Structure 1
Amino acid sequence: MSLETWRVLFRECLGSRGAQYCDEVAPLLVAVDQGVKPSLLWDVCTADTSALLALLNQARVKGLLISKLVLVELDLDVFIVNVAATTRTLMSIIGASPTWLIDISGQNPKVANSENHDQFRTHLNSIISQLGAATDDVMSDPTGMSSSGEATATQNGMECLPQNSGASSSVKSGVIKAAQVKLPEDLNLSTIFGCMLGYPHIYWWEGESGGNSLSGMPLKVFKFSANCSIDGSPVELFSFSIPEALEDDLRPGIEHWGNVINVRIEQAGSFCNAKFQCDSVLCLSVAL
């Protein structure tokens, strides 16, 4: 697996602006492909759907990506999703004890109540259903297009978008396409993003607080990294925080999560030397 091959693809599909992020993003794409990370939020540069699809499908043609991936548009953001790994992650969250939501609506953060957890379980079940519908549609229509060239509509609220014409058609049922996940407009998407990214604890707030209660609050930041065989350098795979005041209550779950990720690293073919660290920080301003 050559980093230079990735660099060529980034230049061809995303241009010079996108190519500068190749060394940062390519190992994360490999982590998603190998199920170490369930998904990747594309936030490094502006790239339209067709360009990202071209990048992913050309990487698939060259054997750099092999898993069942979907480009998911969620509101104005885009995720590159490993369908199996994301489904597994969301099902794990749904089945976990109700401690994974951290309510930061008030001055003092706390574990959210059972009602809040139940609400998000409903939304996570919807996402799982929609991802399954997208996967079924790939199998029935490998190009992601109807005979008229229009985007193929699927069930359960997920709308499939047309495949970029420049992407290879030789991948057959393994073709990567784009789809939109439909969720209520008033839903706190930052919380959904945390679930999609596979964090063990995710911030939630109600009203217009926007998580501002975290500003100036002591936080514990957990980071999980590993060396990637693309160039042998360490890659930060996960980074999330919790209020320091809740550390004693949440640490057992975080340690269990770290052990699970470590097993996935051991099972992956392109990562080694996993490292899990925790640092105390005090942020004067926190944006979620």
Structure 2
Amino acid sequence: MVVSADLFISTAHKFLCRGRKKKRLPISTCLDVAVQIIAVDLGLKPALLYDSNSASSEQVHQYVNSLFGIGLLTTELQVVSISGSTLVVNSKLMKLHLEELLQSRNLISIDVCPWREEPCITAMDKSTEDMVKDILKFFMDNENKYSTVIGLGEDMCGNWNLCTLFGILLGYPASYWFDQAQSLENCLSMTPLVVNKAWVCSQIGDCRHGTCLYSFSFPEVLWSEIHIFIERWTELLRDKFSQQAVLTELSFSKDTVVLPCVAL
């Protein structure tokens, strides 16, 4: 189904404006948000972290419901609020994703504690395993709840490492980890980071629009240890992509950056 750009733009402008002046999202961002949510609907990623502007979780919920109501989504998606952040979640895919992580223990954590000379790979520790179990139970307890925003209170997620959690929920092949009880800093300053991106195209009206579907990084020094997991993740995404016909031209890019300060 080819959809006009005006439909995506008007829907975003109706539901996702913020501030007294109702500042609107740029046109390209309106299209990107729609394509990202369609990708969640298609099962190409378990969740989207909404960070295009300061729209509330309730506004995002109304926007997602509108896309479903006009037939642009095939399944109902959940909108989840975690510590002030809003995620759009394919609950069925998310449960399968978390169950697979717990069964395989295939989660790659990158320890970036500030006292380390350089980052290193670490196994899933008990606190991370417990966090994954808790968030899985949360999704199972809230199964089929689509009519409202689902919120996690501080009593549940107050001690979680949200950097690690969001990496897991967004389907990244590796997540950064640090001991937040000791420090919120990290050892990534001036460390070469390989930024990996996955791109897709969509036919919107008469134009083909390119959207970044995934963007994540890992320290270049860990390439020899982590590349096999990146390659496996890439092949799984290619396989999922081949099973749908809505988005086209899956491609990957890689760039190395060095930053004086890295916020996680």
Instruction: Give the TM interval when normalised to the shorter protein.
Output: 0.7 to 0.9
SS in structure 2 of the partner of residue 95 of structure 1: helix
Counterpart in the other structure of 1:8? 10
Q: Distance in 1 between matches of 2:64 and 2:142?
A: 17
Q: How does 1:52-67 map to 2 (within 5 A)?
A: 52-67=60-75
Q: CA deviation at 1:70?
A: 0.7
**Range with greater deviation from structure 2 (121-130 or 257-266):** 121-130
Structure 1 counterpart of 2:215, one-letter code: S
Q: Does 1:275 align with 2:246?
A: no
The runs of 5 or more residues in structure 1 that have no matched partner are 139-174
- Selected match of 1:111 from 103, 108, 121: 121
Q: Post-superposition, which runs of at least 4 consecutive aligned residues in structure 1 deviate over 4 A? A: none
- Selected match of 1:17 from 20, 23, 48: 23
Deviation digits for residues 180-216 of structure 1 (CA, Å, limit 9, x no counterpart) = 1343412211110111111000000014443420010
Contact persistence 1:68–1:176 (CA under 8 A): no
Contact persistence 2:16–2:63 (CA under 8 A): yes
- Selected match of 2:51 from 28, 32, 43: 43
| Closer, same or farther: CA 208–274 of 1 in aligned 2, 3 Å | same
Deviation digits for residues 11-63 of structure 1 (CA, Å, limit 9, x no counterpart) = 22223524433122111111111111111111111112332222111211100
| Closer, same or farther: CA 286–79 of 1 in aligned 2, 3 Å | same
Q: Distance in 2 between matches of 1:22 and 1:96?
A: 37
- Selected match of 1:227 from 188, 198, 201: 201
SS in structure 2 of the partner of residue 277 of structure 1: strand
Q: Does 1:33 align with 2:36?
A: no
Counterpart in the other structure of 1:179? 150
Q: Distance in 2 between matches of 1:99 and 1:50?
A: 31
Q: Distance in 2 between matches of 1:245 and 1:99?
A: 19
Q: Does 1:198 align with 2:200?
A: no
Q: How does 1:226-265 map to 2 (within 5 A)?
A: 226-230=200-204, 231-265=207-241
Q: CA deviation at 1:91?
A: 2.3
| Closer, same or farther: CA 99–25 of 1 in aligned 2, 3 Å | closer
Structure 2 counterpart of 1:220, one-letter code: V
Q: Distance in 2 between matches of 1:238 and 1:113?
A: 23
Structure 2 counterpart of 1:93, one-letter code: L
The TM-score, its normalising length taken from structure 1, stands at 0.80
The TM-score, its normalising length taken from structure 2, stands at 0.87
The total of aligned residue pairs comes to 249
Deviation digits for residues 92-115 of structure 1 (CA, Å, limit 9, x no counterpart) = 32233455111111222111245x
Structure 2 counterpart of 1:254, one-letter code: I
Q: CA deviation at 1:82?
A: 0.8
CA-atom RMSD, angstroms? Answer: 1.9
